[in-house]
Structure 1
């Protein structure tokens, strides 16, 4: 939910609690009628406290959106790699620029060579830095991805395409806020097996 929507909802809840409290106090004074009896705290109406959730900071919001985009990019890539669909429209949901071009070119090469991928890598993605520090528009992500269970096979006979095992690889990615407010991976670099 957008922080502005949260603030609006919070403001309207506070307003309702205030109006409800005022109405209950007015009703209590009308019912009382006996001005000689002392007021007791036990008979005062209690207003349930509204649980107000503080909106996320711009930094936490940027980190969350960047990680979502990064992991979403890999999910879309894995889905496309199952058939080496280098033209999948989903590739552009979370990737742009060099990152999108790299994904498409890799899938095209696999398609051309008759290869498909099976399985999914695991990810241990963490935010390394944000820029600027107050209201980020760029987030750098470091990931130790394990491709042990995500390997390439020949599409025609289902045999493994190479003899090399998968493994843990360091990935560095740049995720940037786009002009429409979305977050997309603009570039990434995948290191060799054993780099993390």
Structure 2
């Protein structure tokens, strides 16, 4: 199966860095800002089955915001990113959620990422508030670090699993603990595979 996934969030929150950490396992301290949108194809093996993610990296700058609806039309999943050190970037996530629900519908799978947890001491976005907001809109919340790689694989695994479940009403839990393979590396799951 192939799934279209859009990344949304303000400029400089780390969207592109998260994608590069996931697809290439690299991090560039001086990652240039995205202009317009870029698309990345990446395969993820989860519960013994391979899915192709068509990942759309959108620019966060205001002048490109109007193009957003074009990029996320027909998307099955969205990863909304904010910087834990920037309250405005978290507030804007709420705007993206509303826009996604209006344009794509509430069936889209949303994961919200509080990025840059390698700068935890500078945090200004309350974790409890962010988690409560995510739950209120039916999204999953993760804290991530593109720099260290923390939780990046888990974000994509969770998103892929949920997109599979929503696209296949006959899905059921396997009840068996399995590993998942992301790119060329194996990531062990603690919970049961529910693909």
Q: TM-score range by the shorter chain?
A: under 0.3
Q: What's the TM-score once normalised by structure 2's chain length?
A: 0.24
Higher helix share: 1
Q: What's the TM-score once normalised by structure 1's chain length?
A: 0.24
Larger radius of gyration: 1
The higher-RCO structure (CA 8 Å, 6+ apart) is: 2
